[in-house]
Structure 1
Amino acid sequence: MGLVVTALLGALAWSTGPAAAAASATAGQPAWHLTDTGRTDVRFRGLAAVDRSAAWLAGTKGTVLRTTDGGRHWRDVSPPAAAGLELRDIEAFGTRSAVALAIGEGDASRILRTDDGGATWTESFRNTDPKAFYDCVTFFDPRHGLAMSDPVDGRFRILSTRDGGRSWSVLPSAGMPPAQPGEAGFAASGQCLVTSGPEDVWLATGGGASARVLHSGNRGLDWTATDTPIPAGDPARGVFGLAFRDRAHGIAVGGDYRADRPSPSAAAVTGDAGRGWTPSAAGPPAYRSGVAWLPHSRTAALAVGPTGTDLTTDGGRTWRTVDSGSYDTVDCTRDGGCWAAGEQGRAARLERRGG
């Protein structure tokens, strides 16, 4: 078990607020360490953690940043062709290669790839259907991946790639169940479409009568839909983020993203690949958009949102707020690295100091 996880599963001395976070860090406990991206005018909802030292960010104004030294320096590697676009998701295959997704109606939805650390980018997909709006992209491995759009003609649309995102094709819709009226995905954290292993993928929804999670066990060809206990019935409510530590055990987070609205039952868990979901007994106190399992742990995970970070050490059944900073997305790596990103150019790495 890595150092970060060991600390989190130990004393758990985090508290909300900057002073408490600083005190806990001094005492040897982990805390988010904000890094200087130099872009306070950008909101980063796309995050791809590579390891403890390296990560990619994607955000508003077509911005992509990359660090290889733990966030001490961020390099602007934004695609020139993406200026003015909303980049909401990014998937990385190391420090040199990454795929970024721009969202929006019609041709605002695009996918771009780099193989030289962002020095150059190639546009590999541009949406031509005015009814499509792409929200998230995910990969099973460095070659096979999917992207998802809000429903087109009553069904979620899925793109597939077999060459690492260099080319894309629309999958047949016959295996996709009908969408509910008003149902869509949320491009809030790059976690509305996630994978685990070589075949399994899950899709999160909201806006309809119920907040659902759709699962495919054959790379997006056939899907089953399951209602979750996370509140829906409104365009602002639903499941915003998913994380699976294996093909069976997953966590869903969401709620109502409006700041003046409560978000009861903002988290749920599954132990059967999403066939059934159970509400967290003590969930996060507010809307959460991103979630990640801690490295090498079967029980610990972090959830983030505009009002704070929550920690679970029992597989998502109960949560405790451990930081009050605003983040939209979180990602952890197998070597014990965890990163978070959000509004006003915020990007942070989980660190353990002192002690």
Structure 2
Amino acid sequence: MSAGLCAAAVTAALVTPAEARPDGVAQSAGSAGAATGAKLGWQLTDTGTDARFRGLAAVSRNTAWVAGSKGTVLRTGDGGRSWRNVSPPGAGELEFRDIEAFDGRRAVVLAIGEGEASRVFRTDDGGVSWSESFRNTDPKAFYDCLTFFDSRHGLAMSDPVDGKYRMLSTGDGGKSWKVLPNAGMPAAQPGEAGFAASGQCLVSSGARDVWLATGGAATARVLHSGDRGLTWTATQSTIPAGDPARGVFGLAFRDRHHGIAVGGDYRTGQASPRAAAITGDAGRSWRQAKTPPPAYRSGVAWLPHSRNAALAVGPEGTDLTMDGGRSWRTIDGGSYDTVDCTRDFGCWASGEKGRVARFGG
């Protein structure tokens, strides 16, 4: 499908009311879909595993990586028709929660946990081999998320150590890491932490801007740095906190100014009012979504080449906004933890029980 037709198909399928099915496959009668004979929506793929994939890196419509429980990393190069298990050897006891990929061969994956459970691995050959480039030795640190500004420069974030969030920095594509000084980091609130739920508690846009999402404290905040993590400012979001299970779980920025935050209360059956917020000033201020998603959402992504369309996902469904995050409507009932879209109109989602889906037909 050409890029132009694919864009029309995605737009038509999302704008046209869809039948939300509990198996996670939303079917639509969008005109572009009808023209190609495709049934458009989330199309589940067969990953051959029951791992929970909270880490997702979409490279293109055809290539994607997922990382999850039991030390599992999978890669596809054919749009999800087949998946290759490329898990690092001996990683079965680790919990991978974030992965960043530069192409079909180069990727960096983060394992979370206390002390030495927090590790970073890197591959240059599509997962045939991995090198462990970081292992945490501080028992007070717990790493949650990582992000890259480009193929060389990136950051990884730990929950507060001695009252401040800790940042790791790399300048060689994840081959080596160093702890950044914390003089420019604001003090953490009592009980505040990041959520390793979707790989989106630390996100970047452009060459220098990065944002950190928090929860668990009296207020849920978003921290912003414009100098690759050396100095930060903190702003209260509108998403409720006040409990260890509540706060901002995922962020997405389409440029350095316009961003969306999603979250809520991750506990099953708990209400999640005001589960989305938006900013137009790089996170200096946040506004509550007028019509937020109806439940907790952990992942969010802007649709490719769109100024106003984005998807939010969570264990209870997928929501779409067509007005930059001001209002949302549920378009699918399937369970997903995270979502990612690429410039060639590829959108992917992943979650529990080996679920990975691509938007398309």
State the TM bucket, normalised to the shorter chain. Answer: over 0.9
Query: Within 1, Cα distance between the matches of 2:231 and 2:22?
Result: 46
1:77 corresponds in structure 2 to: 86
Backbone CA RMSD of aligned residues:
1.4
Instruction: Confirm or deny: 8 A CA contact 1:48 1:92 kept in the other structure.
Output: yes
Say yes or no: does 1:36 pair with 2:65: no
Give secondary structure in 2 for the equivalent of 1:7. Answer: helix
Query: Within 1, Cα distance between the matches of 2:256 and 2:26?
Result: 34
1:170 corresponds in structure 2 to: 179
Give secondary structure in 2 for the equivalent of 1:156. Answer: strand
1:105 corresponds in structure 2 to: 114
Say yes or no: does 1:14 pair with 2:18: yes
Say yes or no: does 1:350 pair with 2:350: no
Q: Deviations over 1:180-231 (max 9, x none)?
A: 0000000000000000000000000000110000000000000000000100
Which of residues 225, 229, 244 in structure 2 aligns to 1:235? 244
Give secondary structure in 2 for the equivalent of 1:287. Answer: coil
Which of residues 115, 129, 132 in structure 2 aligns to 1:120? 129
Q: Deviation at 1:8?
A: 4.3
For this pair of structures, how many residues does the alignment match? Answer: 351
1:257 corresponds in structure 2 to: 266
Q: Deviation at 1:5?
A: 4.1
Give secondary structure in 1 for the equivalent of 2:70. Answer: helix
What one-letter code is carried by the residue in structure 2 that aligns with 1:48?
A
Give secondary structure in 1 for the equivalent of 2:90. Answer: helix
Q: 1:187 to 1:16 in 2, by over 3 A?
A: same
Q: Deviation at 1:2?
A: 4.6
What one-letter code is carried by the residue in structure 1 that aligns with 2:220?
A
Query: Within 2, Cα distance between the matches of 1:286 and 1:165?
Result: 35
What one-letter code is carried by the residue in structure 1 that aligns with 2:254?
R
Say yes or no: does 1:156 pair with 2:147: no
Q: Please report the TM-score for the alignment, with normalisation by the length of structure 1.
A: 0.96
Say yes or no: does 1:144 pair with 2:167: no
Q: Deviation at 1:14?
A: 1.7
Q: Deviation at 1:3?
A: 4.0
Unaligned runs of 5+ in 2: none
Instruction: Map 1:201-350 onto structure 2 (within 5 A).
Output: 201-350=210-359
Query: Within 1, Cα distance between the matches of 2:145 and 2:327?
Result: 27
What one-letter code is carried by the residue in structure 2 that aligns with 1:201?
V
Q: Deviation at 1:74?
A: 0.2
Q: Please report the TM-score for the alignment, with normalisation by the length of structure 2.
A: 0.95
What one-letter code is carried by the residue in structure 1 that aligns with 2:229?
G
Query: Within 1, Cα distance between the matches of 2:267 and 2:242?
Result: 14
Q: Deviation at 1:13?
A: 2.2
Query: Within 1, Cα distance between the matches of 2:271 and 2:278?
Result: 20
Give secondary structure in 2 for the equivalent of 1:65. Answer: strand
What one-letter code is carried by the residue in structure 2 that aligns with 1:6?
A
User: Structure 1 residue runs of 4+, over 6 Å off?
Assistant: none
Q: Deviation at 1:260?
A: 1.4
Identity %, equivalent residues: 72
1 or 2 for the larger relative contact order (CA 8 Å, sep ≥6)?
A: 1
Query: Within 2, Cα distance between the matches of 1:89 and 1:175?
Result: 25
Query: Within 1, Cα distance between the matches of 2:199 and 2:127?
Result: 19
Instruction: Confirm or deny: 8 A CA contact 1:7 1:29 kept in the other structure.
Output: no
What one-letter code is carried by the residue in structure 1 that aligns with 2:126?
G
Query: Within 2, Cα distance between the matches of 1:198 and 1:320?
Result: 33
Instruction: Confirm or deny: 8 A CA contact 1:145 1:162 kept in the other structure.
Output: yes
What one-letter code is carried by the residue in structure 1 that aligns with 2:44?
L
Instruction: Confirm or deny: 8 A CA contact 1:171 1:221 kept in the other structure.
Output: yes
Query: Within 2, Cα distance between the matches of 1:23 and 1:338?
Result: 16
What one-letter code is carried by the residue in structure 2 that aligns with 1:21?
A
Query: Within 2, Cα distance between the matches of 1:231 and 1:4?
Result: 37
Instruction: Confirm or deny: 8 A CA contact 1:24 1:31 kept in the other structure.
Output: no
Instruction: Confirm or deny: 8 A CA contact 2:209 2:224 kept in the other structure.
Output: yes
